[in-house]
Amino acid sequence: MSAPHVTNPEILGQLSGLQTMMADLMRGLPAHEANQRFHPRLAPLAWYLGRSVYRELHWLREILAGDADLAERVRPIFATQEADATPELLPPRDHLLAWAGEVQGEHLRRLATPGALPYSPWLQEDRLPWLLLQETARDYESMLWVLLASRLSGSEEAPGSEPLRARPPSDLAVEITQGHYRIGSRDESFAYDNELPPQAVELSSFRIAQLPVANAEFLGFMAAGGYARPDFWDAEGQAWLTTSQATSPWHWRRDPQGHWFGLGLNGARLLSAEEPVAGLNHHEALAYAAWVASLGGGLAGAVLQHEYQWEIAARAGHLQGTGRVWEWCANPFHPYPDFSPSPEPSASQFAFAAHQGVLRGASLYTQRCLRRASFRHAADPEDRYRVSGLRLVFPPA
């Protein structure tokens, strides 16, 4: 008979802290805004807190304890996709906060108490606690995206100061020689199924930019008419551009003098020339890479990085500026050979079938439990709200 399960106190501490942070975000908004949708691809803020609670109910009570009562009651509200969330079904903010606090407090008690949870293979090596922690971290980051979208839905006074000025793209890069390299997780208990099984891949030599593309460099693309040049955009990108009428990254705005500034969680702010550009989707990242390649010289052959190239360079410590913006990759989100869904069906399978893109790295909003070289973030190619930028790859010297 296996010993009663007790969750690693570090995991419990991080989970408890995230639950408190999510509740604090809710309390920081006017009650009516908690249930308001600010972006068509994002759910209201309250939905993410409710989904996090529902996930715990589903796993800890329905799956492990065989008690589906509470999970079934809220399943129609919180077991949907973000874009399909129904604001009218969400409970009032204060009611949701009280319910979440009571349920999550009981779940923390069960996770911390020996024998309070029945035996399950999912509890071995804390696999389920790791899953709950990381999914809660993703919900918290999504809540920050919602708050950013709420900022962008209003108007902000521009911060007067030195304007952002364009500069040419840099070709400063590190060369990775041809060879066989490992990607994926080594079966760590915190790994998602899409990080498994570990793979050996053979790559040709390439040079990868030491830094992600900066604001001043992306402004150069804009100044060169990048958004109006169809030769830089593939067919899908041109279709998105026609529909969106985009002319700048998602959170960029112009002041009365025509100078660019940014909107963030704390309002209007200066756009630092060196800061990685954010607020881009996959189409914009590809168009920027095509523009850079067209400049020739040391920039000839520039392309968007493949996720294997990013992971290999990140493991070797060759990348700088990681962890500030999610970085788009050229390839689609795909299963590794011998992929095994866990659980069945898994969120990864849905993302594979939806032909989503891949983001690597992390943003300033990403919790440390998700910051690892093997972590893969699936995203719709049209998403601009994920604090996402890009990094380029060049042919070998």
Q: Count, in order, helices (H) and strands (E) of the chain.
A: 10, 13
pTM for this predicted structure: 0.96
Q: Which helix (H) or strand (E) holds 310?
A: helix 307-315
Residue entry with tokens 């190239």: 309
Rounded to whole angstroms, what are the CA distances from 62 to 47, 72, 343?
A: 20, 9, 14
pLDDT digits (tens, 9 = 90+) for 9-50: 999 999 999 999 999 999 999 999 999 999 999 999 999 999
Helices 45-56 and 127-152 pack at an angle, to 10 degrees, of 170
**How deeply is 368 buried, as exposed, middle or buried, from its count of CB atoms within 10 A (0-12, 13-18, 19+)?**
exposed
Rounded to whole angstroms, what are the CA distances from 74 to 49, 59, 88, 142?
A: 12, 14, 14, 20
Q: What pLDDT is recorded for position 359?
A: 98
> Which residue from 255, 269, 172 is spatially nearest to 214, judged by alpha carbons?
172
Q: What is the set of domains in the chain, with CATH numbers?
A: 9-152 (1.20.120), 173-394 (3.90.1580.10)
Q: What pLDDT is recorded for position 187?
A: 84
Q: What pLDDT is recorded for position 2?
A: 65
pLDDT digits (tens, 9 = 90+) for 227-278: 999 999 999 999 999 999 999 999 999 998 999 999 999 999 999 999 999 9
Span between the terminal Cα atoms of the chain, in Å: 60
Q: Quote the CA–CA distance of 227 and 82 in Å, as a whole number.
A: 29
Helices 69-78 and 45-56 pack at an angle, to 10 degrees, of 150
Q: Which helix (H) or strand (E) holds 268?
A: strand 267-269
Q: Which residues of the chain have pLDDT under 70?
A: 1-2
